[in-house]
Structure 1
Amino acid sequence: MCRWLAYSGTPILLDSILYRPAHSLIDQSLHAKMGVETTNGDGFGVGWYGEDTDSPAVVRDIGPAWSDRNLREIARHVVSPLFFGHIRASTGTAVQQTNCHPFRHGPWMWMHNGAIDGFHLIRRDLAMAVDPGLFADIEGSTDSEMMFYLALTLGLEEDPPGAVARMAGLVERTGRARGVEFPLQMTVAVTDGVRLWAFRYSSQKESRSLFYSSRVETLRSLHPDLAFLRELSDDARLIVSEPLGDLPGAWNAVPEGSYGVVQPEGDRMADFVPV
């Protein structure tokens, strides 16, 4: 499987989230505590939004994140109010740049932890469901990218929660028709550069771990001595595969079968049910 994080809030250096925490994403690439694998060394990717562009920048490579000098260089110089970070442990598809997350289409970014069980059996069926106008943009061979393009086909740009629910329902129906008992395992993050959605769901109701950070004002009241909290805006939020440290009160588990959205008009959480 994989580990990922998504940040939205005060513009910050990528380094402050990717490298500096005690159990940072880079540390998790070697020492994951809650993933299926301890080591996530089959590639990495970061994506971020700048001030003057409608499309995110994406940098991906096939080497392990813990030793990549270019990633460290980027992290020390790039400032962004919204970015994704992902470290990959392949579930069977090739270790190649086009299979590394996050995936991008127009203003949208997508990343995933989990798998479509029996993907080799139903890959053609799912591919045939992708809008022909989008199909040529699929670059890699992963189930994760296929899920992204299915969601785009099923209305992601107009209704992200509905599109992801329709995608999940399609995957489950297709898998079960081929004899796969529990077709889908997913924690997914998707953003249009303004809003950030995160989903936690699995057919078996035993989803991979996912956490969101407490409100900054709550953390300030719990830890008034921590100077870095005074630098963050009240709307700053992190969503992570596993906590970046053990600061009391900082992390909350995303409930099984649910999704949340971080947005200017206020965060919201709701049940997630495939359609």
Structure 2
Amino acid sequence: MCRHLAYVGPGEPLGALLVAPPHALYRQSWAPRHQRYGTVNADGFGVGWYADGDPAPARYRRAGPIWADLSFADLARVVRTRALLAAVRDATLAGADAEAAAAPYAADRWLFSHNGAVKGWPGSLASLSRGLPPEELLSLEARNDSALVWALVLARLRAGDDPGRALADTVVEVAAAAPGSRLNLLLTDGTSVTATTWGDSLWYLARPGGGTVVASEPYDDDPRWTEVPDRTLVTASPAEVRLAPLKEPSRSPDPAPLKEPHT
């Protein structure tokens, strides 16, 4: 379910990455080429981006399909950024969360998206949720699996883990608690992109003019797009992409207490 994309590099209009390419995220909302689960990504969309001089990202999210939002077309044409994260959400069960359920999620300087599904949600993650402080659970943006996965990642980031470790440890922990889950995660702080492949497609492109795109699927037919193997951690900067294998979970872990945040 869902399609998402992150970019870091030279300044670009949002539309140059999300609308203009022939198979951009905009088109993937109704005609994805590599989506293995679901077919129409019309249950909300969002984009988060960074303005020069401001470390906190801005977001634009809506509950409906991206193609029906004429305001987004104007926004995408004129807003430029050096980093963004955007997603279109697969049609899913009815709920009251509306645009709050649409990625990207945000906190501090971070933007986050989850492409996939947690098997057996919500019961499968009950034990993991007990490891979070009550105020974190009460502050969830939405009542879905992605919002809880984000809370688990964010707790690790705030405790001092680097982005790669925060994503990798969360994926292994959730996969152990809910075997069969699909956990393609995407995270950026505006300077780099960190991602995981766990059950769905992911590609990256080192752009000839500079910058790196990490996406669920290619937005054009440039032969330089590279598919990321399953069970992989991706760390990307504007000039470099590194891949590392993710370990398989050995057993369903008991919930461990979270580290105290660094001060």
Please indicate the TM-score interval, normalised by the length of the shorter structure.
Answer: 0.7 to 0.9
Task: List 4+ stretches of structure 1 deviating above 4 A.
Answer: none
- The separation in 1 between residues aligned to 2:92 and 2:183, in whole angstroms, is 13
**Please, what TM-score do these two structures have when normalized by structure 2?**
0.87
1:86-137 CA distance string (max 9 Å, x none):
0001443626111000000110110011010101222433322223453343
How big is the shift at 1:67?
1.7
- The separation in 2 between residues aligned to 1:263 and 1:131, in whole angstroms, is 32
For the 8 Å contact 1:91–1:115, the answer to whether it is kept is no
How big is the shift at 1:30?
1.0
- The separation in 2 between residues aligned to 1:78 and 1:3, in whole angstroms, is 21
Structure 2 residue runs without a partner (length 5+): 250-263
1:259 pairs with 2:233: yes
For the 8 Å contact 1:166–1:274, the answer to whether it is kept is no
Please give the residue correspondences for 1:146-185 in structure 2 after superposition, counting only pairs within 5 Å: 146-155=148-157, 157-175=160-178, 181-182=179-180, 184-185=181-182
Please give the residue correspondences for 1:95-174 in structure 2 after superposition, counting only pairs within 5 Å: 96-155=98-157, 157-174=160-177
- The separation in 2 between residues aligned to 1:174 and 1:262, in whole angstroms, is 28
Structure 1 pair 265/3, CA: closer, same or farther in 2 (3 Å)? closer
Aligned partner letter, 2:27: D
Aligned to 1:21: 21
- The separation in 2 between residues aligned to 1:243 and 1:194, in whole angstroms, is 21
SS of aligned partner of 1:30: coil
1:211 pairs with 2:203: yes
How big is the shift at 1:81?
0.4
How big is the shift at 1:265?
7.5
RMSD: 1.9
Aligned to 2:253: none
Structure 1 pair 187/115, CA: closer, same or farther in 2 (3 Å)? same
1:239 pairs with 2:242: no
Aligned partner letter, 2:123: L
Among the aligned pairs, what percent are the same residue? 30
For the 8 Å contact 1:165–1:274, the answer to whether it is kept is no
**Please, what TM-score do these two structures have when normalized by structure 1?**
0.83
Number of equivalences: 246
For the 8 Å contact 1:111–1:144, the answer to whether it is kept is yes
Structure 1 pair 111/13, CA: closer, same or farther in 2 (3 Å)? same
How big is the shift at 1:174?
2.6
